Structure 1
Amino acid sequence: MTRYAVAVDVVVFDLETTGLSPERDGIVEIGALRVVDGRIDETQRYETLVRPTTAAGDPMLIPWHAERVHGISNEMVRHAPTIDQVLPEFLDFVGGSAVVAHNIGFDGGFMRANAARLGLMWQPAAEHCTVVLSRRAFPKERAHNLTVLADRLGLNFAPGGRHRSFGDVQVTAQAYVRLLELLQRREVSPVASR
């Protein structure tokens, strides 16, 4: 095992939402892939649309400005399961693994808020962020959003995949693996020392 053990077994995930507030907005899509021993396992995937609801469980509409970003409409989620149906299943998929996201503060915040509302626990083994890894790998660069990072690493989104959970997860997983390899070659720790 290398000293870059963060790559051993992780679930890379991405959410699409109705807005930016974990307390006021809802999740409309979850996508995830498992990385095992530093390799992406496309057979271990999780992907679902989610019909958004308020904290009280009432239906929530997807605002036009959110739909403009991810392209997920109210019609698309009309018959989708709600977060109270989806989240226990997703937590089972994650199991005891560490998780990775591009901007983990955003996605992790939504997971914590929704789990708390439902009396569940969001307790991944660890949370890793590809934005942080990108900053460590490319310290002189200012931009680290997923589109820029994909370009920097020579990665491509599937047609129609950008700003959809599974399309973003595929690129985030590839970026995660490549960033760890790059940092290892440079002998730079993937995590900041404290």
Structure 2
Amino acid sequence: MNVVVFDLETTGLSPERDAIVEIGALRVRDGQVQEAERFETLVRPVGAGGEPLRIPWRVQQIHGISDEMVRNAPHLAAVLPDFLDFVGDSPVVAHNIGFDRGFMRAAATRHGLTWAPSAEHCTMQLSRRAFPGERSHNLDVLAQRLDLGFARGGRHRSLGDARVTAEAFVRLMERLRVQG
């Protein structure tokens, strides 16, 4: 169970029109979250044509990342190669991985890079298998179900969400192993 758990915060929901504003990731080795092995950065958002993007007010209300906070942050072109190096050939995990995958593929393509982890795992899908009788599998509900808490100010910030997702992944894999 050696994986990289990651989370993105963005300016919106469209990988083609919106941009990444934060990347957070933690490594899990042998079922243990490795706090010292992490990747975390804010990103100054730019559009597909290189034009600066503002973070919409309604999105700022969700993740708390403002235009001021990313004003001096590096552009994605500067940090994406480092993040891809951090991931290396490790499998990746995210909650609702389709969202994060879409942004990573679009960003990598725009910068002449490739998003091709060796495997991708989704804690939302794992939750559906572990708790088939439950209706909701969003990260807040999953964290509550697994008795996990977000650090103050950690919800809807990349590293905070990645940390809870990593702990959820470890517990879900154990639960599924026990369930057979």
Note whether the superposition's TM-score is higher than 0.5. Answer: yes
Counting only pairs closer than 5 Å after superposition, residues 13-162 of structure 1 correspond to structure 2 as: 13-162=6-155
Give distance in 1, aligned partners of 2:26 and 2:92.
Answer: 10
Q: Which residue matches 2:172? A: 179
Q: How far does residue 21 in structure 1 lie from its aligned partner after superposition?
A: 0.2
Q: Please state whether the residue corresponding to 2:21 is helix, strand or coil.
A: strand
Bigger mean CA deviation after superposition, 56-65 or 26-35: 56-65
Q: Please state whether the residue corresponding to 2:164 is helix, strand or coil.
A: helix
Amino acid aligned to 2:159: F
Amino acid aligned to 2:147: G
Report Cα offsets for 1:50-88 as digits up to 9, x if no partner. Answer: 000001111110001110110000000000001111101
Q: Please state whether the residue corresponding to 2:167 is helix, strand or coil.
A: helix
Report Cα offsets for 1:108-132 as digits up to 9, x if no partner. Answer: 1100000001110001000100000
RMSD: 0.5
Give distance in 2, aligned partners of 1:157 and 1:52.
Answer: 26
Q: Please state whether the residue corresponding to 2:22 is helix, strand or coil.
A: strand
Q: How far does residue 19 in structure 1 lie from its aligned partner after superposition?
A: 0.2
Q: Please state whether the residue corresponding to 1:32 is helix, strand or coil.
A: strand
Give distance in 1, aligned partners of 2:78 and 2:128.
Answer: 36
TM-score norm. by structure 2 comes to: 0.99
Give distance in 2, aligned partners of 1:183 and 1:67.
Answer: 36
The count of residues paired between Structure 1 and Structure 2 equals: 180
Give distance in 1, aligned partners of 2:100 and 2:120.
Answer: 10
Give distance in 2, aligned partners of 1:150 and 1:133.
Answer: 13
Bigger mean CA deviation after superposition, 157-166 or 35-44: 35-44
Q: How far does residue 38 in structure 1 lie from its aligned partner after superposition?
A: 1.4
Give distance in 2, aligned partners of 1:117 and 1:144.
Answer: 32
Give distance in 2, aligned partners of 1:55 and 1:86.
Answer: 16
Indicate the percent of aligned positions where both proteins have the same amino acid: 68
Give distance in 1, aligned partners of 2:38 and 2:51.
Answer: 29
Q: Please state whether the residue corresponding to 1:47 is helix, strand or coil.
A: strand
Establish whether residue 10 from structure 1 lines up as the match of residue 3 from structure 2.
Answer: yes
Give distance in 1, aligned partners of 2:59 and 2:81.
Answer: 25
